[in-house]
Structure 1
Amino acid sequence: MTQRRFTQLDSVTPAALPRRLAAMLYDGFLVLAIWLVVAVAHLAFMRFVLGHSAESIGTGSLAVATLRLLLVCSTAAFFTYCWRRAGMTLGMQAWRVRVQTLDGGPISLFQSLMRCMVAWVSLAALGMGYWWVLFDAEKRSWPDLASDTRTVVLPKAGKKQ
């Protein structure tokens, strides 16, 4: 099976920090919406399937741990699906940013999961993993470096190659 490749490979440039942050802000709103749906589903499951009283939901360590795990997994699933399908999330689309392999193809499942794991670390380190773009000669973030991927800016739709 031949690995598909993205188009516009000659006209892409590394994505700068402001564009990445703008796309992250857009995606943050999407993730928040996903988290709300997951939290409501978790609450409904705890209340109506497991039969917990309304007052006891969220007080046990198991309920808190399962909700946190679901939130992390749903976030990883969202980004992994979007990156594998089109190389971009909705926020990345709005800012014409794409994640791709070093040779211009869609990233693998392993690369997607690696990006997700390192993204958490990058954010936990006060965003240092993304500020790294300012110091790297090729404008790579920690997720880019760890997953052997590139985050690039696509040309405007009207521009020809």
Structure 2
Amino acid sequence: MPNSDHANFPRAGFFKRCGAITYDLLLAVAVYMVAGALGFAVFTGLASSGLIEMAGQEHVSELLNSNALYKGIYQFWIALCIGLFYISFWSYGGQTLGMRAWRLKIQHPNGQNLSMITAAARLVWSLLGIGNLWILINGDKLALQDMMTRSEVVELSKEANQMRNWRGV
């Protein structure tokens, strides 16, 4: 559903985006740590119950790091959790917590929120943030991920950002 209230805000520049990225990296590290702890706890439980053989390893962490399959599954789990962190925030309200602090919002040009599929595509096209460098050579303040997903990052006014916080939208 289009949100005409947010359709006419100016696009965010490179340095504002970098500020939000910095905040969100701190949150992503926290997600990484929690996902890692949960994944390790599940792996330890599986090894303790005998569902996974220790294969001559003395510690569970040695087994996890020595077996390519286990290590790959563990790293995939962590990457999935971090990806879902961004995808869910972008598709639900258009803002991560860092973006909210910098008054930025991801949306389609008509103000509509991204779908989960579009948010996932945006995550891939962002190239771990490198896609934002395109803004520096692109006069219309669109990053690579913006162009590839037909979305934009806008800078909300203080009032619009506060209304979003108040209404939970």
TM value normalised by structure 1 = 0.86
The answer to whether the aligner puts 1:50 opposite 2:52 as a matched pair is no
2:7 alignment counterpart: 9
What does residue range 71-150 of structure 1 map to in structure 2 within 5 Å?
71-119=78-126, 121=127, 123=129, 127=130, 129-150=131-152
Aligned amino acid, residue 142 of structure 1: L
Give the distance between the partners of 2:152 and 2:7, measured in 1 at CA. Answer: 12
Tell which deviates more after alignment, 71-80 or 47-56.
47-56
**Matched residue type, 2:65:** G
* Contact 1:122 1:130 (C-alpha < 8 Å) held by counterparts: no
- Root mean square deviation, CA, Å: 1.9
Q: Deviations over 1:75-103 (max 9, x none)?
A: 22111111111110000000000000121
Are 1:28 and 2:25 matched, yes or no? yes
C-alpha distance in 1 between matches for 2:78 and 2:122: 17
CA offset digits 1:39-82 (Å, max 9, x no partner): 11111111122334333232211121012211221122111111
Relative to structure 2, which stretch is displaced further, 88-97 or 73-82? 73-82
Q: What percentage of aligned pairs have identical amino acids?
A: 22
User: Structure 2 stretches of 5 or more lacking a match?
Assistant: 49-53, 162-169
TM-score, normalised via structure 2 length: 0.82
**Cα drift, residue 26 of structure 1:** 0.5
Shift of 1:130: 1.0
Distance 1:24 1:122 in 2: 10
Residue 148 of structure 1 aligns with an amino acid whose one-letter code is R
Q: 1:154 is matched with which residue: 149, 153, 156?
A: 156
Partner AA of 1:7 in structure 2: D
Residues of 2 paired with 1:26 and 1:102: CA distance?
A: 25
Distance 1:158-1:14 versus aligned 2 partners, 3 A rule: closer
Task: Look at both structures and tell me which one has the larger radius of gyration over its CA atoms.
Answer: 2
